[in-house]
Amino acid sequence: MPDLFTPYTLKGVTLRNRIAMSPMTMYRSVDGRMDDFHLMYLGARAAGGFGLVFPEQVAIAPEGRTTVHCAGIYDDDQIEGHARVTAMIRNMGGVAGIQLGHTGRNGSELKPWVANELGRQLPPDHPEGWQCVGPSDVPYGFGKRPFPVHALSTDEIATLHRQYADAARRALDAGYQWLEMHFAHGYLAASFYSPLANRREDRYGGSLENRARFLLEAMDAVREVWPEEYPLTARLGSDDYHPDGVTFDESVQVVGWLKEHGLDLADLSFGGNTDDMTDPFFPNVSAWVERGARVRREVDIPVTVSWNLGIPENADRAIRDEKIDLVMLGRPALANAHWPVWAARELGHQDPFSLVPEDWGWWLSNFRGHDPSIGWPASGAPVAADQHLRSA
C-alpha cells in the first residue's frame, strides 16, 4: 500500500514522493520571464521536499497571460529563465513540471488584489490590456470581466494549437520533465469545453464531442513534440456546477477520450466558467478526492486532485486508500515551503529529514542538541519553555 512518501513513477519519471506543488500564478514576471524570484521561490519548495514542483500557468502566447506580469514561454528568449528554475528544482531533488495555458476571455487583467471600478479586467486599448479571445463573443461578466471577446476563427484556432506545440518544445529545451495542459478554471480551453461560454455552431461547438475538440487537438499537437517518456497530463475543468454547464458525468467520458489522445494522468478541478455556481465546493475538506477515485476507477487512469488537502492525515489517507495517485497542494505550499517535512513529522515518518537536501538532513538528524529547539516540534504540540525562562 503506498503512502504520501512512497516514490511514484509515471512513464520514465520517478517522483521521490506523492506530494506536488500545484501551479500558482505569481504575477512577478517581466516580459513573461522567470527570474531570481522564481528561482528562490520554486527552489525553496524543491528543497522543502516537494516531489513535483510546478511554477504557474505559463502562457503559450503573450495574450494568453492573465496580466502583463505573468509568465510565458512563447519566445525563445524566455527559455533561459525557465532553465535556471528547472536546474535548481532538479538540484534539490525535485522534478520540474510546467503547466501550459492560455487565459482566453479571462486575460487582460489586473492583479487579483487590485481592482478598478470596472472589476478585474483592463480594456483592450489600455497599455497593459489586450483584446481577449474565446470560442464565442460572450464575456465572462459578473462585474469582473465586462469587455467584448473576439470569437476565434478556425484558422486562429489552428494557430493556437501550433503555439501549444511550440511552447511544449521550448519547455522541453528548458528542462521540464512533466507537462500539464491547463484545461480548467475558465481559461481558453475550459471555455471551449463549456456551453456557458461556447455558443459555436461549427465543429468546435454544440455536442460534447465538438466542445472537447479544442482540447483533444491541443493534446495531439503537444503529444507530437513532447517525448513519450515524460508525463503529459491535463487539469480538466470537469464540472461547472451550473445547470447549463459542463457536468462531471460528461467529464468522466472526456477523460477517456483524452486518454486515447495520450493523456497519462488526469488532474481534476472545476470549470470556472461562471460565478453563479450551485453548491460551490470551496470550503469542503478533500473536496475532489471521491471524484478523483471515480475517474481513476472508471477510466483506469492515474489521477491527482487539489483543493483542501493540506491536513497531512487527509492527504496521506487519499493516497493510502488508493483514491488518487498524487496530491496537489496550492496554498499549503505558499504557507510552508517545507510542508512535506512538516507532514512527515506529523505522520510519524521514520526519517522526515530524508526529504530535505542530504547535507541539511544529516545536520538535522545527527547534530547533538535539544531536538525541539530546531523549531519543528514533532507532534505540532506546543513546546514547553525551560523553567528558568518561564520564571524570568
Ligand X SMILES: Cc1cc2nc3c(=O)[nH]c(=O)nc-3n(C[C@H](O)[C@H](O)[C@H](O)COP(=O)(O)O)c2cc1C
What amino acid positions are annotated as catalytic residues? Answer: 187
Closest CA to 235 of 190, 181, 287: 181
Give the integer Cα–Cα distance in Å for 192 and 156. 14
Among 43, 134, 310, 340, binds ligand X (CB under 6 A): 310
Hey, CA dihedral for 234, 263, 289, 47, is it positive or negative?
A: negative
CB atoms under 10 Å from CB of 15, counted, come to 25
- Using the rule CB under 6 A, is 25 a contact of ligand X? yes
CB of 88 to ligand X, least distance (A): 20
- Using the rule CB under 6 A, is 291 a contact of ligand X? no
Q: Which is nearer to ligand X, 230 or 307 (CB)?
A: 307
Q: Which residues of 20-59 are buried (b: 16+ CB within 10 A; e: fewer)?
A: bbbbbbbbbbeebbbeeebbebbbbbbbbbbbbbbbbbbb
Q: Which is nearer to ligand X, 56 or 63 (CB)?
A: 56
Q: Which three cell numbers stand for residue 283?
A: 470550503
Residues 318-337 that bind ligand X (CB under 6 A): 329-332
- Using the rule CB under 6 A, is 211 a contact of ligand X? no
Among 5, 17, 19, 23, binds ligand X (CB under 6 A): 23
Q: Which is nearer to ligand X, 282 or 367 (CB)?
A: 282
Q: Which is nearer to ligand X, 211 or 235 (CB)?
A: 235
Q: Which three cell numbers stand for residue 287?
A: 473536496
- Using the rule CB under 6 A, is 104 a contact of ligand X? no
Sole residue written with cell 544529516: 362
CB of 358 to ligand X, least distance (A): 28
Give the integer Cα–Cα distance in Å for 85 and 275. 35
The count of C-alpha atoms lying within 13 angstroms of the C-alpha of 67, restricted to the half-sphere facing its C-beta, is 18
- Using the rule CB under 6 A, is 233 a contact of ligand X? no
CB of 372 to ligand X, least distance (A): 28
Q: Which is nearer to ligand X, 78 or 269 (CB)?
A: 269
Q: Which three cell numbers stand for residue 55?
A: 511554477
CB of 350 to ligand X, least distance (A): 26
Residues 41-70 that bind ligand X (CB under 6 A): 56-57
Give the footprint of ligand X on this chain (CB under 6 A): 22-25, 56-57, 99, 182, 184-185, 235, 269, 306-310, 329-332
